[in-house]
Amino acid sequence: MPVYNDYPFSSKYFTIQGGRLHYIDEGVGPVIVMVHGNPTWSYYYRHLIAHFRLTHRVIAVDHMGCGLSDKPPIYPYCLAQHIENLESLLVHLGVGQFSLIVHDWGGAIGFGFAVQHLDQVDRIALMNTAAFRSTRLPWRIRLCRLPVIGEIIVRQFNGFAGPACFMAVEKKLAAKTARSYLAPYNSWNNRVAIARFVQDIPLHKKHRSYAKLVEIENRLPLLRDRKTPLVILWGGKDFCFNDHFYNEWQRRFPEAESHYFNDGGHYILEDKIAEIIPILNQFFIR
């Protein structure tokens, strides 16, 4: 396994059908579960893990096929399976009450778990994500969904994870940081989940993940009914999860605390970590 100097955590593994899930489990206290998206991995949360492990028990999972988890070539890489994997891990770890931090695909996965365990959810922080239907999709991502061509772009030429290292940030990543993001995705085989996540975006009713996303969307109001505290942290320079999604979250959760960063990109924790940590301190430490 590569050595990541800025990821000084003890790797743990949980075996499920199909392979091993890698996860971080650090600290003691109230539980915060951090759920990443595509094409990142738990490395995205490294600063938050290091900070909150001093006051909380922090669990950050790498989805199957991502980060340091196994990358089986044949696997049901879909929304329902990722939610099931997260649930299996948290049951294995004996997690009762928990809070969530979600980003990108982690929104649908994390909220998908949360709406099934409403009585266990403490509070939720979301960043540039969605857990509801939308047909808005940039042409650059649509290109990566094309049969054959998309697979070649994403897996042969690393045309999704690679460009994200500069397209998803407004502040240039240090070279070593970019290398750490990309290290787990260094071959055709190791980029399988990146391609499958792109293909799993449910844009029409016949898509295999469409019904699951509708189920999650329909249960979102239950979190509001229970007055679950929610904070929205949003990068305004995100070309994918743009203001349409930000406004939709505010419409669905008008009581949510919102922080909009005009000069923040999709990887908002890279661009605005110094501003975000104090906000999350007030939100989680009470």
Structural domains of the chain in order of their starting residue, each with its CATH number: 11-284 (3.40.50.1820)
Q: Given this model, what pLDDT does residue 285 score?
A: 83
* Residue whose tokens read 């649930």: 87
Tens of pLDDT, residue by residue over 44-89, are: 999 999 999 999 999 999 999 999 999 999 999 999 999 999 999 9
What local confidence, expressed as pLDDT, does residue 14 receive? 98
Beta bridge partners of 121: 98
Q: Which of 16, 37, 42 is nearest to 194 (CA)?
A: 37
Residue labelled with tokens 């990722």 = 82
Tokens 């690679």: give the residue.
Answer: 162
What does the DSSP assignment read for 196-261? HHHHT---STTSTTHHHHHHHHHHHHHHHHTT--EEEEEETT-SSS-HHHHHHHHHH-TTSEEEEE
pLDDT value at position 269? 98
Task: Report the candidate in 177, 178, 186, 180 with the shortest Cα–Cα distance to residue 158.
Answer: 186
pLDDT of residue 70: 98
Q: How far is CA 187 from the centre of its chain?
A: 22
Average pLDDT over the chain, rounded to whole? 96
What tokens does 168 get? 């998803």
Write out residues in the chain with pLDDT < 70, as ranges.
1-4, 286
One-letter-per-residue 3-state SS of 73-87: CCCCCCHHHHHHHHH
Tell me the C-alpha distance between 61 and 234, whole Å.
22
How many C-beta atoms lie closer than 10 Å to residue 241's C-beta?
23
